[in-house]
């Protein structure tokens, strides 16, 4: 199909999204509605199908599996002599919520996500990007097939944006780093990861975790994995601690 034929019956918004998909992934969507859905957060659900609100959550669920499988296959072939533990850790680093959020910012997803910016009910854009990324992988899988989606993930994401050698050297176990930081004090600080809330959304559990240091609340995070929620909250807390000069000096002086 020619480009003119592909765009003939599309609205200006659909054309803009199709061109954007082409610019970052190298192909034009066949079913543009899938990609529009991938960029629609639940806060913008306006249409109901029975009891189902139309948003990107189902695509996110599917894309999570597609992304994980594609990355696992790529790592298995790239590192034929490495252990299962190494492969699992590398996959976790690539598909972590923190990594996907940062990648979505590089790709300027914020220009296309439909969501309600109500901080009392919904997260900021920074926490939406990773979910949209997974939803896009689900959209590509449905629009084409798994082999095509895997090709995009490997050739347009991993090879263009991820330095595997650098990733191997990156310390991303933020939870361990916080615990190590707490041990540096003469009077050791008590770090607690509290599960504030656990709820099930569309048969998928979501965990809200907050870090408390000596019973003082620090950063919190929400994720579909309690481990990822803890890691995300730990990373935010470490950033807070790094910027707190008095705490840094205190830890150095009380070893």
Annotated catalytic residues are 64, 134
Can you list the pairs that 1-4 forms with residues at least 24 positions away whose Cβ atoms lie under 8 Å? Answer: 3/28
Residues across the chain: 255
With beta carbons less than 8 A apart as the criterion, state whether 236 and 209 touch: no
d(CA 117, CA 186): 44
Structure tokens at 170: 């990156």
C-alpha closest to that of 224 among 76, 68, 45: 68
Query: What beta strand segments (E) does the chain contain?
Result: 48-49, 52-53, 191-201, 204-213, 216-223
Rounded-to-integer distance, Cα 210 and Cα 221, Å: 6
- What DSSP state is assigned to residue 187? S
| Cα Rg, the chain, nearest whole Å | 21
How far apart are alpha carbons 114 and 106 in whole angstroms?
18
- In angstroms, how far is the first alpha carbon of the chain from the final one? 69
């Amino acid at each position: 199909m020619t480009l003119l034929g592909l765009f003939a019956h599309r609205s200006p918004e659909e054309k803009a999204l199709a061109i954007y998909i082409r610019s970052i992934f190298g192909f034009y969507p066949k079913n543009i509605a899938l990609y529009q859905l991938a960029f629609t957060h639940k806060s913008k659900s306006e249409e109901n199908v029975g009891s189902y609100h139309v948003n990107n959550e189902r695509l996110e669920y599917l894309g999570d599996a597609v992304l994980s499988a594609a990355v696992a296959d790529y790592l298995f072939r790239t590192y034929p002599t490495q252990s299962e533990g190494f492969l699992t850790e590398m996959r976790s680093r690539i598909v972590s919520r923190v990594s996907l959020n940062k990648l979505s910012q590089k790709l300027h997803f914020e220009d296309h996500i439909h969501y309600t910016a109500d901080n009392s009910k919904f997260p900021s854009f920074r926490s939406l990007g990773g979910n949209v990324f997974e939803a896009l992988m689900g959209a590509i899988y449905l629009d084409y097939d798994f082999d095509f989606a895997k090709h995009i993930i490997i050739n347009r994401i991993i090879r263009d944006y991820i330095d595997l050698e650098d990733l191997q050297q990156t310390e991303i176990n933020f939870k361990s780093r916080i615990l190590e930081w707490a041990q540096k004090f003469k009077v050791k600080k008590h770090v607690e990861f509290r599960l504030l809330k656990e709820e099930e959304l569309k048969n998928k559990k979501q965990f809200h975790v907050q870090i408390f240091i000596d019973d003082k609340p620090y950063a919190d995070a929400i994720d579909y994995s309690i481990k990822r929620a803890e890691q995300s909250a730990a990373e935010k807390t470490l950033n807070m601690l790094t910027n707190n000069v008095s705490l840094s000096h205190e830890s150095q002086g009380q070893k």
